[in-house]
Structure 1
Amino acid sequence: MPVTESIGRRQCIPILYTRGTHYEVGFDIGHTFASLIQTFLKSYSFLHEEFLPAYNTCEGRKAYEDTLDSVKANFPQYVDEIQGTADGAKVPFHELFLLHLDNIILNSFPSNEQKKQPTGCSSICVNHKGQEILGHTEDALTETLNHFYLVSAHIISDKPQGRWNVTEEKFTSLCYAGHLPGYTMSYNHHGLVFSINTLCAKNLIPGKTPRQFITRALLAAENYTQAMQVLKDEGCGAADGCSVNITFLGQEGERIFHNIEMAPTETANESELSEVTARPGEHLIHTNSYLRLPINTANIEMLRSSEERMITLQKCKGPKCENDVIKMLGDNSNKEYPVFRDAGFVRTIAVGIFDIVNRTWSLYSDNPKKNEVLAVLPIVLKNK
């Protein structure tokens, strides 16, 4: 019996505060959460049924090595973080790196039929006077339930790191066990607040940048221009896809929320992007399907779930406040494809509500319609 089934849904989100180099921060994460990481790796079905068998083939190993070489060239500091986590948790580096490759390593096996959907997530941005809200459900395979944590890290480097020449990072991010920060919901000390929705492009490209490295790099962005530069990843481009819901607390002028869809492309050495905005009086909703980019998609069941959740969320005509967002993200009226998922092989493991006006991040480990908030974290910005 999986650990998640035997202990049920826990009302618990552990948090680690850590400071150091990229490797040291990774090591602290691995050392502190070693049990969670080890248990997750043992129970994660995709790793054992899909990724490791692919890794042990010539085609899969080439996809692994090509992608590792690419991120070592462009983002060596994040490879160091993963190595630190592996060392701290006493687990193999290649298993953690396979988590970040995700389905990229299966690209050489087009006949491979996936039996499960990896992740989901629904995001809502509300932009009204006094109510500037980004809400997000974090959905993942059942094995991920109770296998996540918050990392609040301050990284200072003695020389510029990676292709964007970063010397300092300070952020708080919800992390799946053993994964880099940045691929769920996060904020940084420059005032960047964002959430991620997985998008499943059919044609993935080994040797390009995995989305989890791109969203990890987002945590260093100081402004919207830099964030778009990171997502575009000019000179390489994304290997797989996602959408990013984003705003900056310190931006000048009126509040603007952005949704950017990102997709891989074989015709250019950069990501394909499409952006829409929510200005005052408007809102945005995104789940797990491409709404604007004409991308062939995989994972038909995830697409169906995404479409059904979108129908449910759109029934709320113009959400205007935090309570509206909580009701929408806690909705389970569609029994087969609920917004908040508490059964089946995909679960909602956490819900986050960013209150941009009051600069807080509220976190729930259960349905927010039926349960009190578990933690309310202040969004702490850099002193200018």
Structure 2
Amino acid sequence: MEIPVGRRNCIPIIYTKGTHYEVGFDVGRTFKGLIQDFIKNNSILNDEYIPLCSAGEGKNLYNDTLNCVRENFPQYIRELEGIADGSEVSFNKLFLLHMGQMIPTILNKNDSNDILGTGCSTICCNEPNTEILGHTEDANANTLGYFYLVSAHIIENEPQGKWKTTEERFISLCYAGHLPGFTMNYNQHGLVYSINVIHARQVYQPKTPEYFLCRALLTAKNLSDIENILKDKGCGSSVGFSVNATFLDEPGERIFYNFEVGPSSTNSDESVLNKLVIKRGEHSFHCNKYLRLKIPEIGGLLTASSDSRQNVFEKLTPPKTKNDVLRLLSHQSEDNFTIFRDYKYNDVKAREPIATIAIGIFDCKGRTWSVYTDKPENNDPLIVLPLKL
């Protein structure tokens, strides 16, 4: 961004109801200024993605990916078209954002040293008196102030897409101009989940970008739905990522899940999937690298940052209470690769221009979602939402 907004104690929220297009249009119209500024000053989009996909192999990649998503998830294309029309930003630019890292990876334009540690850290704490999913949403520091909450009720007359959905209710933290589902989220079926990006070294086309699979998770009613959506039978994910999840009303004792998702290969029509079950008395911590799947990664700062954060977590006392989770998500050390990242624009020593833009605490026993915009150990949440739709 030309003029950094910096850290603000502000999270705008929209409540909207309608079809996929209507909800998208309302979001685009309401946050038109934020979306236009974000797109205008997004150097990765304007200096990298657009030139790479303007002709030749890159243009074919764009068209193949758009056709793939339009075939399986036409409702999300209409939703994105609504955002584009409402914000008066071209659909082409918004779709390129949703292709993301697959563009330079497939076109062999990646430099591992340029892969910033833009991912997130997630803690699942499953104790008798503490059932919490805590998440830091980390991104380029220029994203500070360019996000909002979307509370949507989507109703369609006909079944939509490959999973034949007609109705959705959810709340999601969204980056400006992006579809819901990619950061931290809650849906009408009691599903709570967060996402960690992972950059696999080899990705493929035409496959489904992770943004659309994460968007589809907002429809999941049970564990089987999550697994089917992530496997994406018939196509598969274009890239790697990780999902941390639980269902609030699942019978029996609380169970958290971590899913590691690997890209679908040229010879496969579904994603690689590994599921970890976190039972009572257990905890987990996940950043932006594979802990179980043996899939080569690009490396660079993202892997170095993940290794550092993982080491911090393993050295500290495991969380038992909500305060423990807040303490861990607030942890900072002499290393620039910290769990809570507070990038300073004038800090010449910083190794990566990354900031924690928001922190979410899903309290499954208290049935609340607390969202912080600053270090949670020292600050009250900016908003506390009831986990009830």
TM-score range, shorter chain: over 0.9
Question: Alpha-carbon deviation of 1:49?
Answer: 2.0
Q: Say if 1:379 and 1:111 are closer, same or farther in 2 by CA, change over 3 A.
A: closer
Question: Alpha-carbon deviation of 1:2?
Answer: 2.6
Question: Alpha-carbon deviation of 1:95?
Answer: 0.3
2-structure distance, mates of 1:12, 1:23: 27
Any conservation in 1 of the 2:117–2:306 contact (CA below 8 Å)? no
Partner AA of 1:237 in structure 2: G
Deviations 1:291-349 (A, max 9, x none): 11111111421000000001111222321111111100111114310111111411110
Residue 42 of structure 1 corresponds to 40
Question: What's the TM-score, normalizing by structure 2?
Answer: 0.95
**76, 89, 92: which one pairs with 1:91?**
89
Residue 208 (str. 1) matches residue 216 (str. 2):
no
Residue 243 of structure 1 corresponds to 242
Across the aligned residues of Structure 1 and Structure 2, the Cα RMSD in angstroms comes to: 1.2
Deviations 1:352-374 (A, max 9, x none): 00000011000001111121111
Percent identity between the aligned chains? 51
Residue 3 of structure 1 corresponds to 3
Residue 280 of structure 1 corresponds to 280
Partner AA of 1:280 in structure 2: R
Residue 346 (str. 1) matches residue 354 (str. 2):
yes
2-structure distance, mates of 1:119, 1:216: 20
Any conservation in 2 of the 1:153–1:170 contact (CA below 8 Å)? yes
Q: Say if 1:334 and 1:182 are closer, same or farther in 2 by CA, change over 3 A.
A: farther
Any conservation in 1 of the 2:182–2:215 contact (CA below 8 Å)? yes
Residue 382 of structure 2 corresponds to 374
Residue 261 of structure 2 corresponds to 262
2-structure distance, mates of 1:35, 1:116: 28
Taking the TM superposition and a 5 Å limit, the aligned residue runs for 1:122-201 are 122-201=121-200
Question: SS in structure 1 opposite 2:245?
Answer: strand
Question: Alpha-carbon deviation of 1:283?
Answer: 0.4
Question: Alpha-carbon deviation of 1:126?
Answer: 0.4
Contiguous gaps of at least 5 residues in structure 2: 344-351
Question: SS in structure 1 opposite 2:100?
Answer: helix
Contiguous gaps of at least 5 residues in structure 1: none
**97, 100, 110: which one pairs with 1:102?**
100
Deviations 1:20-52 (A, max 9, x none): 000000000100001110111111121022101
2-structure distance, mates of 1:315, 1:360: 29
2-structure distance, mates of 1:119, 1:83: 26
Taking the TM superposition and a 5 Å limit, the aligned residue runs for 1:303-318 are 303-318=303-318
Question: SS in structure 1 opposite 2:219?
Answer: coil
Any conservation in 2 of the 1:232–1:271 contact (CA below 8 Å)? yes
Residue 301 of structure 1 corresponds to 301
**351, 356, 359: which one pairs with 2:364?**
356
Residue 33 (str. 1) matches residue 31 (str. 2):
yes
2-structure distance, mates of 1:287, 1:191: 24
Any conservation in 2 of the 1:107–1:206 contact (CA below 8 Å)? no
Question: Alpha-carbon deviation of 1:118?
Answer: 6.5
Any conservation in 2 of the 1:60–1:106 contact (CA below 8 Å)? no
Any conservation in 1 of the 2:235–2:264 contact (CA below 8 Å)? no
Any conservation in 2 of the 1:116–1:345 contact (CA below 8 Å)? no
Partner AA of 1:310 in structure 2: Q
Any conservation in 1 of the 2:106–2:203 contact (CA below 8 Å)? no
1-structure distance, mates of 2:109, 2:261: 25
Question: Alpha-carbon deviation of 1:133?
Answer: 0.2
1-structure distance, mates of 2:238, 2:165: 22
Partner AA of 1:82 in structure 2: L
1-structure distance, mates of 2:92, 2:101: 15
Count of residues in correspondence between the two structures: 379
Question: Alpha-carbon deviation of 1:265?
Answer: 2.7
Residue 348 of structure 2 corresponds to none
